[in-house]
Chains A and B, each alone.
Chain A
Amino acid sequence: MKFECGDLDRAMANSDLLPEAREHFKTCAACRREYRLWNEISATARELHEEWDTPALWPAIRETLQAERKPEVFWWKQWKTWAIAAALAIAVAVPLGLWRHSQATRTTAPTTPDFLTEQALREVETSEAAYRQSIEKLSKLAAPKLATASSPAVVNEKERLSLLDSAIAETRANVASNRFNIRLQTALADLYRQKQETLHEILNHDAKN
């Protein structure tokens, strides 16, 4: 095939024709110039790539994204955060509450029905003191009889007194750490009452006999 000027475009599209085209360029300045321009277009095109700094562009994109995301973050999508927050709140609140509760029972008068007020406590302690005085007097009177107890009934009452004394000692120890507890105070008063009655019975037992 004889390469002619009209074949130049085909040679540019099909590199198989380039060897023949190059032969033709040796004698055709116009085609040589066109081919050079063809290659220069590609070479110059690379220089058209534009680069410039845009340091604010990504921050602007990121901020827009963050602004858009905020309303979409529903509370239930953050359940892990909420669970951790709740666990922390419980971990702090429970010990704090227990500590405050124990402090309150030691220093101030609670107002719930299970606990005594300061005034009521004073009255209970006065009663207790009166019980103890009365019991001490009765104990002194009963002491000789108890020391020489011989009848089964007196021995029985003596054992009962011993049980009541240990119960009173235990309850008093509990009351000492929880003075406002109405149940403990009632139990202690009941034990004093039982001891008082027992001592009366021991003294009366001799009189009956």
Chain B
Amino acid sequence: MVWEIGLPLPFAASVPDHPTEAELAEACRRGNVRAFERLYQLHSARMKSLAFHLLGSRADAEDTVQEAFLKVCRAAHGFEGHSSLSTWIYRILINCCYDAIRKRQRLAESPAPPDFRAETNVPLKVALQRALSALNERQRMVFLLFEVEGLRHSEIAAVLEVPEGTSRSWLFEAKSQLKRLLTEAAK
């Protein structure tokens, strides 16, 4: 049984107050602040990382995670459990990130994507980070969720509300595109 997105079962079992996602979800639905704190402890690190890659700065990532968490806490009483709690909070986070990106675009603050082709001999990590910005939204999202944050295709499919096969297909597209960009940059 998958207890939480990407979290090993022993870690979940070390939470005696909320040993199952159902119990945690129920406690959150009742507005239990300790349950929200537990949820934060379980997911905030991955949420911050994902937001950082989507928004490009730690400060913006923190603001967005805070906003996403507040939305989760405010809406938890209406959480009906159609998806898992973790899927639900990642979906809220991604929507918050898109809102932040749209707001930034309206204010014309968005910097131009870096031209990674201009530099050669940069470490692969740096080149990859820059190449990511050249991917389209869905490719970048699936790549970040699968390769960077370690979610499974079934989990990504639930978060993005697409079939699992679509998630696999988008990941292949993303990696093909990255490989092409990185190969060209190396030439």
A and B together in one complex = yes
From the candidates A12, A54, A57, name the one contacting B172 in the complex (CB within 8 A): A12
The answer to whether B44 touches A37 (Cβ under 8 A) is: no
Q: Which chain A residue has the least Cβ–Cβ distance from B169?
A: A13
A42 interface residue, CB < 8 Å from B? Answer: yes
Q: In the docked arrangement, what's the CA distance between A114 and B175, Å?
A: 98
Contacts of A64 in B (CB 8 A): 66, 70
Contacts of B29 in A (CB 8 A): none
The answer to whether A49 touches B149 (Cβ under 8 A) is: yes
Q: Which chain B residue has the least Cβ–Cβ distance from A14?
A: B172
Contacts of A68 in B (CB 8 A): 74
Contacts of B30 in A (CB 8 A): none
From the candidates A37, A54, A62, A65, name the one contacting B62 in the complex (CB within 8 A): A54
From the candidates A13, A37, A54, name the one contacting B179 in the complex (CB within 8 A): A37
Contacts of B62 in A (CB 8 A): 54, 57
The answer to whether B143 touches A62 (Cβ under 8 A) is: no
The answer to whether B70 touches A41 (Cβ under 8 A) is: no
Number of interface residues of B (CB under 8 A): 36
Q: In the docked arrangement, what's the CA distance between A68 and B36, Å?
A: 15
The answer to whether A44 touches B37 (Cβ under 8 A) is: no
B128 interface residue, CB < 8 Å from A? Answer: yes
Contacts of B31 in A (CB 8 A): 69
Q: State the Cβ distance, A168 to closest chain B Cβ, in Å.
A: 71
Contacts of A48 in B (CB 8 A): 53, 125, 128-129, 148
B65 interface residue, CB < 8 Å from A? Answer: yes
Contacts of A37 in B (CB 8 A): 179, 182-183
B98 interface residue, CB < 8 Å from A? Answer: no
Instruction: Map CB proximity to A onto B37-77 as digits: 1 under 8 Å, 0 otherwise.
Output: 10010001110110011000010001001100110011000
Q: A38-B175, A44-B124, A50-B53 are in contact. List 5 more A-B contacts (CB 8 A).
A: A37-B183, A42-B175, A52-B48, A54-B44, A61-B70
Q: 20 interchain pairs (CB within 8 A)?
A: A34-B179, A38-B179, A42-B175, A45-B143, A47-B125, A49-B46, A50-B49, A50-B52, A50-B58, A52-B48, A54-B62, A58-B40, A58-B44, A61-B36, A61-B73, A64-B70, A65-B33, A65-B36, A65-B70, A69-B31
